[in-house]
Chain A
Amino acid sequence: DTWISTQKKIHSQLSLPVYPLQENRQFGSKMTDSKYFTTTKKGEIFELKAELNSDKKEKKKEAVKKVIASMTVGKDVSALFPDVVNCMQTDNLELKKLVYLYLMNYAKSQPDMAIMAVNTFVKDCEDPNPLIRALAVRTMGCIRVDKITEYLCEPLRKCLKDEDPYVRKTAAVCVAKLHDINAQLVEDQGFLDTLKDLISDSNPMVVANAVAALSEIAESHPNSNLLDLNPQTINKLLTALNECTEWGQIFILDCLANYTPRDDRESQSICERVTPRLSHANSAVVLSAVKVLMKFMEMLPKDLDYYGTLLKKLAPPLVTLLSAEPELQYVALRNINLIVQRRPEILKHEMKVFFVKYNDPIYVKLEKLDIMIRLASQANIAQVLAELKEYATEVDVDFVRKAVRAIGRCAIKVEQSAERCVSTLLDLIQTKVNYVVQEAIVVIKDIFRKYPNKYESVIATLCENLDSLDEPEARAAMIWIVGEYAERIDNADELLESFLEGFHDESTQVQLQLLTAIVKLFLKKPTETQELVQQVLSLATQDSDNPDLRDRGYIYWRLLSTDPVAAKEVVLAEKPLISEETDLIEPTLLEELICHIGTLASVYHKPPSAFVEGSRGVQHKRLPGSAGSGESVESPDPGAAATETPPAVIPSQGDLLGDLLNLDLTPTTTTGPPPPTTSGMQMGAMDLLSGGLDSLMGDESEPLGGDIGGNPAMGAAFGAAPATMPASFNAPGSGGLDDLFDLGGGVGMPMGALNPPKAVWLPAMKAKGLEISGVFVRRAGVIQMEMTLTNKAMSVMTDFAIQFNRNSFGLAPAGPLQILTPLSPNQSIEPLNNLQVAVKNNIDVFYFSCQYPISMLFVEDGKMERQVFLATWKDIPNDNESQFQIKDCHLNSDAASNKLQSSNIFTIAKRTVEGQDMLYQSMKLTNGIWVLAELRVQAGNPNYTVSSISLKCRAPEVSQCVFQNYEAVLKN
């Protein structure tokens, strides 16, 4: 036995002889609090009341204890309020504490009664014993009753400056409590400033609590500069960090993480002082330190020796976290998942610690598996595969499934291992365990996508298991395989036909897949499968309520009947390669999450704005840029991420056309500006479709019967098909098809340049009968000022002339007009786009001013190159960025993009992050000023009310006008 357990033994032996065991037990049970739980008889409250008012102190205390015990189990003892409060004035600290406990619980429901306690509180705040002073101010802060709060201010002010640090640190927390109850009061009373001063307190615990309180207050004031961090305060925090408790260290580290060092030297010196925290026994301290280091590391040049040292220091503490309790492991693993994505080098040699033990809780197992895949590389793949195969024979179904899937991901990630993975999967299929087979088939489909024409020899084995598949995803995957390799599977038609029998009972993804697979089969083996394709097309179009299925059915039908060659090109098109890494977190999000290591955000892998209540205004945190060689660090710029659009394309439905259909068709038919408007990424897809559509429409009247593969028999086959079709085309479903054809004509309509109505610029009253109304429009690259001059006077007006005062963008009349007296500059502050005009006729000269929409100034060649955009965005200082919100705008991002394009605001790139569409746009003003914009639109929600926009421009003055223009265009 160990020393310590021996010690315990001796201790218990010593204490035993003094009191006989039996008697102890009796005492023990008599003295426990469990007796409080048993009093359920009627009249209990009255009894307690009598006891509370007893003269005997001990009886009083016992009674209060009983009250508290009842309270903890949820019984309502609020009726005893006055009696309990009467016990408060006592010099017995325990009794006092008990009464305080009661008060905190019930004051809210009995505010008037609670007032009775105020005097005692105020008196206690002056007590010579610091413990009582602190206790009083602490308890007062917990009583969430306005009347009490009023009385709290004075004692709190004193306690914040108390000579005893214990009182000061308690008071610091009390400010946060008070702020939660009445924020305005805290500001008015100047408590925030006092709290800020406490950051420089001599006692580390006071510093830590001040930081904790300020951080909590700052959370509800995202933009207030409460924690104004500068090198001096940072130094104080770092000093306090070494001396305060573990919890204080967490507060300070989390606060440090919000600081942005001025340069790499400061960054390094902070890192050096934080690294000792990595050896703390408290895992939360360790993880907060990791956060600070991960963030500040970004600023260190990679060639620095210290950078390498730091990387090495980070691995051991992370590994140690995994030997803690399972709950801690879970949070640690979620964070390691982020760290591994950002800096794989830290843990690349530590694969083994993520191996799963069979008695790990399931939530730990699943996370470990995820990280194993992320760390898998050519060097360790053999080990990983052996492990995964082991896991695939475990008991827990979810875990087994994920393990099988992981084998597939390994195959896709590490090319050299693909063969071994496939054979492992085949071994697993041989076990005939139903869910294992199904998962294996799903991942084999992806392997086929990644390595075409390499492993098709296994198809025969897969086909043997066709009957056992009962999960939609596995069925869809199998159908995809059959359709894709129809030419190599002799009985492909029989296989697919067997699925067709229960077509309507299948889930949508299986139905869609079956439709596509049969069309593929038909295009590959037209002669034998004509009946089959007709059957599936009619099932999809006529007998289905699902619009997706029906639409896809119609498109295939139309494609096949009009231009089989095009159909072949579309349906059997080469598929884009699937990416190596699936489910990687999008880089900007990852950067933000790295700044939130250790928080709930890091567990959910979502930015706090996405789920924390009342944090909508929270600023997104970003990693600081690197000071040295910037080569491999992704810039924190949102645009940077747009260039490397993550190729997350394992389409779960495995169908190309499905994706194409989601694209916006409109730009091709835009009547307004010519179409080099959308990003290159979208262009390719659009071309494909516009070609398809053209032929769809153009060939309508032509007889069908093109030759596929030079097979004359097929012409006949196609000739037959359309004959049967018209009947169904006139069926109720045909409305959908009409819509499809209307696309060409209809879509252009809303796109035309918007023409606002003319506004009255100069009323007749003011101009001796001359009324001028007008509007600015931009046509064919020329800004036009259209005016209607109405003579409302009796006499004739002649000799009209016009002149503009000097204006921000140098607008001047283009026509040869007479020049009149210049106007003196207006003193008042005018909008930039204000135009002061003078019109003269034979009667008088009239001056008026009007505002032109700034979009008039946007020139047609305002589309920036992507690279230039990125560079410019980075180049423009952040101070020049302005943020705006557009409310009540009911457009999706594509419609918005199209609308904006008609006023020469060009979309350069688009991406979707967390359900938000981000549009990156540029525009150029006549005087050569570029404005860059990032427009965020909540995608997929037709009822969204707010979209927001950030504008960057070298001349930030124009931002306001530009924003107004956005608003005008989008709301129109």
Chain B
Amino acid sequence: MIHSLFLINHSGDIFLEKHWKSVISRSVCDYFFEAKEKAAEPENVAPVLQTPHHYLITIYRGKLFFLSVVQTEAPPLFVIEFLHRVADIFQDYFGECSESVIKDNVVTVYELLEEMLDNGFPLATESNVLKEMIRPPTILRSVVNTLTGTWSNVGDTLPTGQLSNIPWRRAGVKYTNNEAYFDVIEEIDAIVDKSGTTVCAEIQGVIEACVRLTGMPDLTLSFMNPRLLDDVSFHPCVRFKRWESERALSFIPPDGNFTLMNYHVSSQNLVALPVYVKQSISFFDSGPCGRLDITVGPKQTMGKTVEALMVTIHMPKAVLSANLTATQGSYTYDLATKVLVWDIGKLNPQKLPNLKGSLSLQAGAPKPEDNPSLNIDLKIQQMAISGLKVSRLEMFGEKYKPFKGVKYLTKAGKFQVRT
């Protein structure tokens, strides 16, 4: 399984290494550096590399490479999932996952890695469990530590979750305010072609939960229209049998924030797009210039307001500057990255926002071959574009009455308009 881990920053320095079996020289990373050199963008380095004696499996998160070394036939997805989990835990513990924060907490990081993997086998990867064993650094604790000099940040009891049938929940949870909140967040992934026809559109949905309930509550969340959900993946706490038979989510929740469920509404069900885009970007054969004209309008919003609307365009390399007028919002053109961003804000259906004007090209450059793509960003509050609705949340096993709440949010994921 996983033999070693190297953390490598953006510029290619190894700033942390951890070995779970014998020590592997960091020179093994040279193969990775070679591949990184070849790939122009760090995102494009292939995640699985073969070297004469090892396999390097890498993820790229927060401008850091998490590079693991594997010596035997190990499942790469397993390794990649684990690496993402490591990054998640860092995020959870330190608020961000960056080189400086890892260096600031290097000993905690080391302790965490030791606790997460044994002999290359994952040991404890649930943040609840880890936090019982290694307490995250907090300002409060730092103060106490320095004042008293006694507090250890390693727990000396066996985490209650480690071996129970519900490893995700610790025993003896107590709150004065009992609350359970659910956010249904949907992201639209879509490709729209030049003529405005939807090439493909799908929805990635997720139900994020924040549950702070005393004791061992047993929750049941049911939907108005569960038929929408034919492709789902659950947090381990969800009882699959109940879902199969009743189409309701029944679970004993982890304590705190967690992802209850992911779902996917595929392109086969007709996915309605909330906005349409009318665009024309053209470059002239004669003279180094081009024209741009973009209008955005509402399509399927069920009466809700489209907010935080933003259009991002990756321009061809030859485009030097843009001289445009926006009827709403503001635009910027970054010469270095060749990215044009038009920040519109709220979409007013009565007065559609428009961006229009000319683009100037490098003198003497040939007419660009590639057509720029438009990326759309937006948010719609209190609406799940798939139409999914929670009908009710029931709690069993405990007597008190919790506060309950559900919010909906629709966002653009990879929403792309071709020109």
Contact B156 A316 (CB under 8 A): no
Among A180-224, those with CB < 8 Å from B are 180, 203-205, 209, 212, 216, 219
Chain B contributes a number of interface residues (CB within 8 A of A) equal to 117
Q: Is B15's beta carbon under 8 Å from chain A?
A: yes
Chain B binding site: helix, strand, loop or mixed by DSSP?
mixed
In the complex, how many angstroms separate the beta carbon of A869 from the nearest chain B beta carbon? 33
Contact A97 B162 (CB under 8 A): no
Using A94-B154, A330-B46, A358-B416 as known contacts, say yes or no to A173 and B199 having CB atoms under 8 A apart: no
Contact B71 A613 (CB under 8 A): yes
Bound state CA distance, A390 and B416, in angstroms?
A: 13
Q: Is A294's beta carbon under 8 Å from chain B?
A: no
Contact A599 B405 (CB under 8 A): no
Contact B268 A279 (CB under 8 A): no
Bound state CA distance, A750 and B26, in angstroms?
A: 54
Bound state CA distance, A371 and B377, in angstroms?
A: 29
Contact B75 A166 (CB under 8 A): no
Q: Is B92's beta carbon under 8 Å from chain A?
A: no
Contact B262 A7 (CB under 8 A): no
Contact A3 B181 (CB under 8 A): yes
Contact A353 B202 (CB under 8 A): yes
Contact A32 B104 (CB under 8 A): yes
Using A330-B48, A355-B191 as known contacts, say yes or no to A36 and B106 having CB atoms under 8 A apart: yes
In the complex, how many angstroms separate the beta carbon of A67 from the nearest chain B beta carbon? 10
Q: Is A446's beta carbon under 8 Å from chain B?
A: no
Q: Which of B20, B76, B105, B232 contacts A32 (CB 8 A)?
A: B105
Contact B236 A353 (CB under 8 A): no
Q: Is B402's beta carbon under 8 Å from chain A?
A: no
Q: Which residue of A lies closest to B243 (CB)?
A: A279
In the complex, how many angstroms separate the beta carbon of A105 from the nearest chain B beta carbon? 7
User: Within 8 Å CB of B154, what residues of A?
Assistant: 93-94, 97
Contact A279 B232 (CB under 8 A): yes
User: Within 8 Å CB of B257, what residues of A?
Assistant: 4
Which of B116-124, B341-349, B357-365, B393-401 makes up part of the contact surface? B116-124
Question: Which of B21, B80, B100, B244: most chain A CB closer than 10 A?
Answer: B80
Q: Is A811's beta carbon under 8 Å from chain B?
A: no
Using A4-B210, A69-B106, A205-B163 as known contacts, say yes or no to A216 and B72 having CB atoms under 8 A apart: yes
Q: Is B183's beta carbon under 8 Å from chain A?
A: yes
Q: Which of A250, A357, A596 contacts B416 (CB 8 A)?
A: A357
Contact B73 A390 (CB under 8 A): no
In the complex, how many angstroms separate the beta carbon of A757 from the nearest chain B beta carbon? 47
Contact A355 B200 (CB under 8 A): yes
Q: Is B108's beta carbon under 8 Å from chain A?
A: yes
User: Within 8 Å CB of B418, what residues of A?
Assistant: 390
User: Within 8 Å CB of B104, what residues of A?
Assistant: 32-34
Bound state CA distance, A596 and B259, in angstroms?
A: 30
Bound state CA distance, A164 and B75, in angstroms?
A: 30
User: Within 8 Å CB of B107, what residues of A?
Assistant: 33, 36, 65, 68-69, 98
Q: Is B278's beta carbon under 8 Å from chain A?
A: no
Contact B77 A361 (CB under 8 A): no
Which of B50-58, B284-292, B293-301 makes up part of the contact surface? B50-58
Q: Which of B75, B259, B266 contacts A350 (CB 8 A)?
A: B266
Q: Is A319's beta carbon under 8 Å from chain B?
A: yes
Bound state CA distance, A98 and B231, in angstroms?
A: 45
Question: Which of A4, A101, A180: most chain B CB closer than 10 A?
Answer: A4
Chain A binding site: helix, strand, loop or mixed by DSSP?
helix
Contact B416 A599 (CB under 8 A): no
Among A235-293, those with CB < 8 Å from B are 243, 245-247, 250-251, 254, 276, 279-284, 286-288
Q: Is B131's beta carbon under 8 Å from chain A?
A: no
User: Within 8 Å CB of A203, what residues of B?
Assistant: 163
Contact A433 B47 (CB under 8 A): no
Q: Is B223's beta carbon under 8 Å from chain A?
A: no
Which of B328-336, B367-375, B383-391 makes up part of the contact surface? B367-375
User: Within 8 Å CB of B47, what residues of A?
Assistant: 326-327, 330-331, 363
Contact B77 A598 (CB under 8 A): yes
User: Within 8 Å CB of A604, what residues of B?
Assistant: 50
Q: Which of B23, B73, B143, B167 contacts A105 (CB 8 A)?
A: B23
Using A131-B158, A219-B72, A284-B78 as known contacts, say yes or no to A316 and B163 having CB atoms under 8 A apart: no
Contact B407 A165 (CB under 8 A): no
User: Within 8 Å CB of A32, what residues of B?
Assistant: 104-105
Contact B371 A393 (CB under 8 A): yes
Which of B144-152, B214-222, B319-327 makes up part of the contact surface? B144-152
Bound state CA distance, A598 and B140, in angstroms?
A: 44
Contact B259 A281 (CB under 8 A): yes
Q: Which of A284, A320, A350, A362 contacts B77 (CB 8 A)?
A: A284
Using A24-B139, A94-B154, A245-B167 as known contacts, say yes or no to A316 and B110 having CB atoms under 8 A apart: no
User: Within 8 Å CB of A138, what residues of B?
Assistant: 118
Bound state CA distance, A451 and B258, in angstroms?
A: 58
Please, what's the 1-or-0 string for B1-18, where 1 marks a CB less than 8 Å from any CB in chain A? 100000000000011111
Contact B105 A317 (CB under 8 A): no
Q: Which residue of A lies closest to B415 (CB)?
A: A357
User: Within 8 Å CB of B416, what residues of A?
Assistant: 357-359
Using A209-B121, A327-B58, A611-B50 as known contacts, say yes or no to A600 and B73 having CB atoms under 8 A apart: yes
Contact A353 B53 (CB under 8 A): no
Using A216-B1, A390-B193 as known contacts, say yes or no to A250 and B266 having CB atoms under 8 A apart: no
User: Within 8 Å CB of B189, what residues of A?
Assistant: 323, 357
Q: Which of A2, A27, A170, A284 contacts B139 (CB 8 A)?
A: A27
Q: Is A92's beta carbon under 8 Å from chain B?
A: yes
Q: Is A971's beta carbon under 8 Å from chain B?
A: no
Q: Is B36's beta carbon under 8 Å from chain A?
A: no
In the complex, how many angstroms separate the beta carbon of B398 from the nearest chain A beta carbon? 21
Among B222-279, those with CB < 8 Å from A are 230-236, 240-241, 243-244, 257, 259, 262, 264, 266-268
Q: Is B414's beta carbon under 8 Å from chain A?
A: yes
User: Within 8 Å CB of B156, what residues of A?
Assistant: 93, 129, 131
Instruction: Rank and list the top 7 A-B pairs by shortest CB-CB distance, nearest first.
Output: A316-B231, A32-B104, A94-B154, A327-B47, A3-B181, A352-B200, A284-B77
What would 12 more interface pairs be, CB under 8 Å, given A353-B266, A363-B47? A30-B146, A31-B145, A33-B104, A72-B16, A73-B106, A131-B156, A166-B158, A287-B77, A319-B266, A325-B59, A394-B370, A600-B73
